[in-house]
Amino acid sequence: MGKVNITIDGCKMEVEDNLTVLEAAKQAGIEIPTLCYLKNINQIGACRICLVEVEGARGLQASCSYPVSEGMVVHTNTPTVREARKATLELILSNHKKNCLSCSRNTDCELQALAQKMNVGDVIYEGTHEDEKIDDLSTSIVRDNSKCILCRRCVAVCKNVQSVGAIEVINRGFKSKVAPAYDRPLKDSNCVNCGQCVAVCPVGALTIKYDIDRIWEALADNDKYVVVQTAPAVRAALGEEFGLPIGTAVTGKMAAALKRLGFNKVFDTDTGADFTIMEEGTEFITRLTENKNLPLITSCSPGWVKFAEHNFPELLDNLSTAKSPMSMFGALIKTYFAEKEGIDPSKIFSVAVMPCTAKKFECERPEMDASGYRDVDAVITTVELAKMIKEAGINFEMLPEEQFDDPAGEATGAGVIFGTSGGVMEAAIRTVVEVLEGKEIPQVEYEEVRGIDGVKEAELTVAGKNVKIAVVSGLKNARNLMEKVRNKEVDYQFIEVMACPGGCIMGGGQPRKVLKERKGIDVRGLRKGALYSEDKRLPLRKSHKNPYVQKVYKEFLGEPNKGKAHELFHTHYTER
């Protein structure tokens, strides 16, 4: 990498020669507006909002894709540049549905923010305003193409980051739009419901499918006993919706808020994660001992499971049959908890708060009803919970720290770290190592599986056996690794896969991160740090040490992965 000398708005500077004008301007403290740009994902200059003047070049240039060169002179704030950007924005707005007040992205819309920043008021152009039918047939995501600005961010993320390719720009000219092949509904495509498209959409063209009204209805029904469980990643991001710093764990305030919303019981999905480790860990030990169906591949991430069903059906026998913590805990609520509390399970309405839009799909999978009842009746995301808290007029910052309800018992730190890439693997290792060694192991933290890399590999020696493991997040990374597994190019015994880059902390149902990351904030690192900090301060950090888990196996389930435990906690997958 070399250096070049350039001048931006009169500021002479030396920069790396692999930068774009947009990146160089940022180093000079100059903020060029963007709309379609996503660093390293979508740098195609499609929206034309980031235009600048480059001396010697013909016409205005899109700074997000224009490379710097020696002696370059750039102007970012001339009358010509400002007028061109404003005209471009007005043209985009002319064809955009303007129901801002009732849009779910109101105050969190990048188009709206740009209009304010660039002082665009009345739009003089008349767009086509073609009526587009809203596609709300997916369990997780709603598409409204009347709000789409064709920035192609969603297409780039779906194709380049997740390698799913469920959506693309179809048709030509004024009839161009983003849609699945043959303009089918999203539910009829190979979409895995991960919601990464929702996370990057700058407007309200792709949004979470809300289940808020169903929850309010259940809470108002005196004939229902409404319980809620919250995933570990939710506590690491919920506070952002109320102005708290990124990386603030709000576990106690979240529990307090849920109680004030009217839930009969407020539980922690981390307890379900401890059960998952017992089941998945036992399954791994069995497979390792028998040298059968290895590598064992985790199945907690429903986006990954559906991706595997579409793309790697020959590896489905390698996936762990253990359900996710959400579904395991849901099954336990409708059985053990109902029996202990003397509640008719048909009266229980079980809600899960998840960071993941794909959990809505998992909730409705037909296999998730081994108890005779749906494991979970409804899933809402972190964003939806924040909306409910605001709608109820609860001052989140003023809430005291409260505990989750009994009899769910105390979850361990192993359950907490399920929310980040590497967490499931580390939680499993903590238990599997002790079981195989047959003794207490002082080591709790395994740095080998931590970090931000999309693929992490390690080799451990356990009870005299060499165990090769891998941790992967993001479905493109998963595809590349699974192709190596399929072709027998690698030899692992245990693989953790999470659909979302960075794991559940970056799920499609979490507060949006694009604008924060654009400011140089390490959202992933801060949220991950919140979970590891909570793990570190908990007295119990290994799932098999959880006394509540031990009690339930003794009183109700029997042995892990056998009998009632297998019936309630394990499932199967379907080639698609």
Residues ≥6 apart with Cβ < 8 Å to 92: 35, 47, 111, 149
Query: Hey, which bits of 339-436 come out as E strands?
Result: 348-354, 378-381
Residue type, 183: D
Nearest to 422 by CA among 483, 377, 373, 471: 471
Which residues are 85's β-sheet partners?
Answer: none
Looking at residue 511, the DSSP 8-state letter turns out to be P
Asked if 127 contacts 94 with a C-beta cutoff of 8 angstroms, the reply is yes
Q: Could you give the strand order of the β-sheet that contains 225-230, starting from the edge strand earlier in sequence?
A: 265-268, 225-230, 348-354, 378-381
Are 219 and 211 spatial neighbours (Cβ–Cβ below 8 Å)? no
CA distance 503 to 500: 5
The residue length of the chain stands at 576
| Residue type, position 113, single letter | A
| Catalytic (active-site) positions | 280, 283, 300, 320, 359, 362, 367, 504
- Alpha carbon 517 to its chain centroid, in Å, reads 15
CA distance 244 to 537: 21
Distance between CA atoms of residues 473 and 190, nearest Å: 19
CB neighbours (10 Å) of residue 532?
Answer: 18
Other Cβ atoms closer than 10 A to 296:
27
Chain centroid to CA 296: 23
Tell me if 233 sits within 8 A of 353, measured CB to CB: no
* Dist. CA 61–CA 21, nearest whole Å: 9
Nearest to 323 by CA among 343, 306, 348, 298: 298
> In what helix (H) or strand (E) does residue 179 lie, and over which residues does it extend?
strand 177-179
Residue 362 pairs in a beta bridge with: none
3-state secondary structure 122-133: CCCCCCCCCCCC
User: What is the distance between the alpha carbons of residues 281 and 288, in angstroms, rounded to a whole number?
Assistant: 10
Q: 269-290 and 325-332 are packed helices; what angle lies between their axes, rounded to 10 degrees? A: 110
Radius of gyration of the chain from its Cα atoms, rounded to whole angstroms = 25
Distance of CA 342 to the CA centre of its chain: 36
d(C-alpha 572, C-alpha 576), whole Å: 13
